[in-house]
Amino acid sequence: MESVEYSPNTPLEYQSETGRLNILGFWVFLGAEIALFSTLFATYLVLVGRTGGGPGPEELFELKGVLIETFLLLTSSFTCGLAIHYMRNHSLKGVFLWIGVTLALGLGFLGFEIYEFVHYIHEGAALTTSAYWSGFFVLVGTHGAHVTMGIAWISLILIQLKQRGLTPDTTRKVFISSLYWHFLDVVWIFIFTAVYLYGMVM
């Protein structure tokens, strides 16, 4: 099976059977992730307003920090796309550069998010404060945990790229992790809208 000839236009990650299977399987996994986040969103929306005497989001949310987070994450999705572009052009250097930028932006996002969480907790809004804040921290926190996992995972892949260069195996891993990264970006757009914008106009 591995010996089939491929047109030079077939990307490396699609040239092996394993590559094609794993990419498809990852799309299916993202389907399950959509179900997971949908459940969390539904839970959050059901709990909106149930602040039980504690502070509400309109008192605490600040547009500035959230906009910075959004800007960092959206840009990182773009740079991640650039990394794939360079990968398709067989430029290992380009891949390293743009994945590096992506990870840096991701870390920046995380930094701001952690700062935001700490700030809320100082203001008396924690996981244990009320149903609303439980919903908030678990929804946004699950996204943040995904970003953290993504950064750790992509770092491991970078090491493998360093060791092995661009092969059907390593490009497959880079490509799959990029799908994951874009997915987290899309989830963030929903969080931005359903949690922050909605929370501020409530």
Partner 1 sequence: MKLDEFFVTGDPLIYGADVSIALTLIGAIFVLTYFKKWKWLWTEWLTTVDHKKLGVMYIIAAVLMLFRGGVDALLMRAQLTVPDSSFLDANHYNEIFTTHGTIMIIFMAMPFLIGLINVVVPLQIGARDVAYPFLNAVSFWTFFMGAMLFNISFVIGGSPSAGWTSYVPLAGLELSPGVGQNYYLLGLQIAGIGTLLTGINFLVTILKMRVPSMKLMQMPMFTWSSLITMVIIIFAFPVLTVALALMTFDRLFGSHFFTMMDGGMPMLWANLFWIWGHPEVYIVILPAFGMFSEIISTFARKTLFGYKAMVYSMVVIAGLSFLVWVHHFFTMGAGGAVNSFFSITTMLIAVPTGVKIFNWLFTLYKGRIRFTTAMLWSLAFIPNFVIGGVTGVMLAMAAADYQYHNTYFLVAHFHYVLISGTVYACFAGLYFWYPKMFNHRLNERLGKWSFWIFVAGFNLCFFPMYFLGLAGMPRRIYTYGIGDGWMSLNVLATFGGVLMGIGFLILVYNIYYSFRYSPRETTGDPWDARTLEWSTPAPVPHYNFAHLPEAKGHDAFWIMKEEKKQGKAPEKKPYKPIHMPSYSGVPIIMSVFFFIAGFGMVFSWHWMSILGLIGVLATMVIRSFDYDKGFYVSVEEIEETEKKTTL
Residues of this chain that bind partner 1 (CB under 8 A): 1, 20-22, 24-25, 28-29, 31-33, 35-36, 39-40, 43, 46-47, 50-54, 127-132, 134-135, 137-138, 153, 156-157, 160, 164, 169, 173
Number of CB atoms found within 10 A of residue 10's CB: 11
Compute how many other C-beta atoms are within 10 angstroms of the C-beta atom of residue 103: 20
**CB 40, min distance to partner 1, A:** 6
Q: How far apart are CA 79 and CA 105, in angstroms?
A: 9
Q: Which residue has the tokens 């700062």?
A: 115
What letter would DSSP give residue 14? G
- For residues 44 and 196, which CB has a smaller minimum distance to partner 1 in the complex? 44
Q: Which of residues 70 and 146 has its CB atom nearest to partner 1 in the complex?
A: 146
- Least Å distance, CB 108 to partner 1, is 24
Q: How many CB atoms lie within 10 A of CB 111?
A: 13
Rounded least distance, CB 129 to partner 1, Å? 7
Q: Which is nearer to partner 1, 8 or 53 (CB)?
A: 53
Sign of the Cα torsion 189, 191, 195, 196 reads negative
State the nearest-atom distance from the C-beta of 127 to partner 1, in Å. Answer: 5
